[in-house]
Amino acid sequence: MPDSEIKPLEFYGRFRHGIDGSRRLMIPAKWRPPEKSVVLKAILWPMNVNDYILVLPPEQWRQRVLEKLKDNRLSDERAANLERVIGETSEPLELDKVGRFCLPDHLAGPAGLERDAVLVGRVDKFEIWSTRRFDASHSYNASLAADYAKEIGI
């Protein structure tokens, strides 16, 4: 199926899953792409803080990351630095037959992921948090979300 015909993936809800001895993490069944060949993209986020892993489906990765980078000049050192950070702190995630993927060391370590994780849907992307960091941070605030919803007219 051509990319233009692929239905955009959506991610809703919050789930807690264990991480097995091989650092595999299960994706909730309702979040799994129907096409087996879809590869999700993961990046440590926010940059320079590494609180969690942000996971983007291919179309979001292209729109939000690759398209923004492609217009930079090769001689732009700031762009080169950004590309380096993205290159070394991101990873393609391929799901196995049962909907798991392996968390690579260079993502799992800085994000504090060891035995379990919290997966938080963000509509067109999702986050993977260590349960300890997620419980400690409560990175979202309902009143801030309500204020921003008003600001953007939702």
Q: Which domains does the chain have, with CATH numbers?
A: 3-152 (3.40.1550.20)
In this structure, the strands spanning 100-102 and 116-121 are unpaired
In the predicted structure, residue 2 carries a pLDDT above the cut 70: no
pLDDT tens, 38-97?
Answer: 999 999 999 988 899 999 999 999 999 999 888 888 888 998 999 999 999 999 999 999
- pTM value is 0.87
What mean pLDDT is predicted for residues 21-39? 94
> What are the start-end ranges of the E strands in the chain?
14-18, 24-26, 39-45, 52-56, 90-94, 100-102, 116-121, 126-130
Q: 130 is written with which tokens? A: 């260590």
- Average pLDDT taken over every residue of the chain: 91
Q: 78 is written with which tokens? A: 């700031």
